[in-house]
Amino acid sequence: MERVLNHSIQKWLDATLAFDTIRHQNHDAVLASMESLEFPHSKMEDWKYTRTQKLNQGQWVLQRSEVISDPEFQAVSSVQTQMRSGFFGCLNQVAPTEAFSLDIAPNESFDEPFHFVIKSNEDWAWTQPSFELTLGEHACAKVVLHFIGKHNGFCNALLDVTMMEGSHLDLDIIQDNDDSFFQILDIRVDEASKSHCNVLTHTLNGGWTRNNLWMSLNGEHAHAALSGFYLPQDGQLVDNHTVVDHRVPNCTSNELYKGVLYDKSKGVFNGKVFVRKDAQKTEAYQSNKNIMMSDDATMDSKPELEIYADDVRCSHGSTTGQFDEEALFYLRARGLSALGAKQLLVSAYVNEVINRSNNAEVVTFVKQELSARGRIIADEV
C-alpha cells in the first residue's frame, strides 16, 4: 500500500529500514496514523518552547541499546504498547530497537527493586527501546529505569504501565546523559481503582531531554504521584510535559516538579490536569518551582487545568525566581562561601523532590551522584 507521508518524516522512516526492528502488533495502524503527522516544530502547541532542528539534522543510525537488566524483564517479540498521537511515540512504535516487559503477578509483592539499565554508547547511535510494565491486582513493586546516554546519541524511549486494581508501583526514572545527548521518554500510565503509582523523574544530566508523562486515573480511589527535578547547565534543555487525567470520581493526584537552571540552559514545564465531568471528589495538586541561577537561563512554565466537575479540590502553583537572598546572606554571615551557601540551598531545594521516592537505594545513589559532581551537598552527620 502506498503511503503519503509528509516529507519531513519520510526521511526518519526511511532511516528505520536499514535495521531489523521489533514488530508492534499494530504496526500498520501506527504507520497509517503517521500520514497526518509532520516533524515537530515550534508552531505546534506541544513543541512551542522546545527546539527540534538539531535533532532533525542528526545523522542518526538506528541500532540496539546496551542493556543490563534484572532477569525478570522479558524480551518480547511483539510489542503491544498503546498507540500514541505524537510523532516520536509513533516513530518508536514503528521501529522499536528492543522491547521488554515486566509482569508482576497478582498479589505478588517485592521489596527489592527491579533494575533496568539502558545504555547508548556511540556517536550518532539512535535507539528506540520499548517497555511494558504490568502489575496484577494488589501487586506491589519498585522499578528503576536508568538511562545512560554517551556521546551525541539519540534515545527515543517509550513505556506503558498498566496497573490493576489495588496495585502499587514506585517508578524511578534516572536520566544520565552526556551534554550532547538527545532523549525523548514517553510514558503512559493507566491506573485501575485503588492503585497507587509514584513516578519520579531524576534528570541528572543531558543535552536535550523531553519527557512526556501521561497518567490516567481510570478507577475510583486511585492515586497518582508524579515528580521530577532538573538542573540544566550550559546550553542544556529539559522539557517535562505531563498530563494527569482524572476520569472517574474519588481519585487523587499530587505533582511536584522543581528545577534549578544555570548558565544559558532552558527549562520547559507543561502540566495538564483534566478533571472529567464525572470525576467528582477529585483532589489534584500541582506545583512547579524554578530557581534561575543565571540571567541567561530561561524557563517556560505552563500549568493547564481543565476542570469539568464541580465538587473538586484542585490547586496549582508555578513559581520562577531567584534565590532567597536573606537565606543566602544568613549562611554567608556564618562563614559559608557564596558558592557553598548556594549549593546547600540547591540541595535542600532538590532534596524535597528526591525524598519523594520510596526507593531508598535510588535516593542514596542520586544524592551521591549529584554530590560527586558538585551539584548538591550530600546529607551528612
Candidate residues 59, 71, 326, 374; the one interacting with another protein per rule CB under 8 A: 326
Applying CB under 8 A, does 1 fall inside the site for another protein? no
CA 250 to CA 344: how far, in whole Å?
39
Residues in the chain, overall count: 381
Number of helices and strands (H, E) in the chain?
Answer: 7, 22
Applying CB under 8 A, does 368 fall inside the site for another protein? no
- Asked whether the beta carbons of 102 and 114 are under 8 A apart, the reply is yes
Q: How far is the CB of 321 from another protein (least distance, A)?
A: 15
Q: Which of 158, 220, 164 is nearest to 184 (CA)?
A: 158
Stretch that binds another protein, among 58-66, 97-105, 119-127, 340-348 (CB under 8 A): 340-348
Strands (E), 218-354: 223-230, 237-246, 252-261, 266-275, 283-292, 298-307, 313-321
Applying CB under 8 A, does 229 fall inside the site for another protein? no
Task: Specify the residue, 111 or 380, whose C-beta has the smaller distance to another protein.
Answer: 380
Q: Which three cell numbers stand for residue 240?
A: 517535562
Q: How far is the CB of 342 from another protein (least distance, A)?
A: 11
Applying CB under 8 A, does 335 fall inside the site for another protein? yes
Task: Specify the residue, 307 or 336, whose C-beta has the smaller distance to another protein.
Answer: 336
Candidate residues 299, 349, 357, 375; the one interacting with another protein per rule CB under 8 A: 349
Q: How far is the CB of 287 from another protein (least distance, A)?
A: 14
Applying CB under 8 A, does 372 fall inside the site for another protein? no
**What separation, in Å, do the N-terminal and C-terminal C-alpha atoms of the chain show?**
67
Task: Specify the residue, 82 or 343, whose C-beta has the smaller distance to another protein.
Answer: 343
Stretch that binds another protein, among 186-194, 195-203, 284-292, 321-329 (CB under 8 A): 321-329
Candidate residues 68, 338, 360, 372; the one interacting with another protein per rule CB under 8 A: 338
Q: Which three cell numbers stand for residue 32?
A: 497509517
CA 328 to CA 351: how far, in whole Å?
18
| Per-residue binding letters, 266-305, with another protein (x by CB under 8 A) | ----------------------------------------
Applying CB under 8 A, does 43 fall inside the site for another protein? no
CA 373 to CA 352: how far, in whole Å?
19
Amino acid at 127: T
Applying CB under 8 A, does 334 fall inside the site for another protein? yes
CA 137 to CA 135: how far, in whole Å?
7
Candidate residues 284, 291, 345, 363; the one interacting with another protein per rule CB under 8 A: 345
Q: How far is the CB of 347 from another protein (least distance, A)?
A: 8
Stretch that binds another protein, among 6-14, 17-25, 99-107, 331-339 (CB under 8 A): 331-339
Per residue in 182-198, is it b (16+ CB within 10 Å) or e — as a string?
bbbbbbbbbbbbbbbbb
| Coil/strand/helix, residue 138 | coil
Site for another protein in 87-116 (CB under 8 A): none
Applying CB under 8 A, does 311 fall inside the site for another protein? no
Stretch that binds another protein, among 39-47, 72-80, 130-138, 323-331 (CB under 8 A): 323-331
Applying CB under 8 A, does 329 fall inside the site for another protein? yes
| Coil/strand/helix, residue 88 | helix
Candidate residues 178, 336, 365, 371; the one interacting with another protein per rule CB under 8 A: 336
Question: Total number of residues binding another protein (CB under 8 A)?
Answer: 26
Computed from CA positions of residues 128, 129, 135, 141, in that sequence, does the dihedral angle turn out positive or negative?
Answer: negative
Candidate residues 16, 272, 344, 365; the one interacting with another protein per rule CB under 8 A: 344
Burial class of residue 17, CB neighbours in 10 A (0-12, 13-18, 19+): exposed
- Asked whether the beta carbons of 23 and 77 are under 8 A apart, the reply is yes
CA 129 to CA 67: how far, in whole Å?
10
Applying CB under 8 A, does 352 fall inside the site for another protein? yes
| Coil/strand/helix, residue 94 | helix
Residue 370 gets which letter from DSSP?
Answer: H
Residue linked to cell 535507539: 127
Q: In the complex, which residues of this chain contact another protein (CB under 8 A)?
A: 324, 326-327, 329-338, 340-341, 344-345, 347-349, 351-352, 377, 379-381
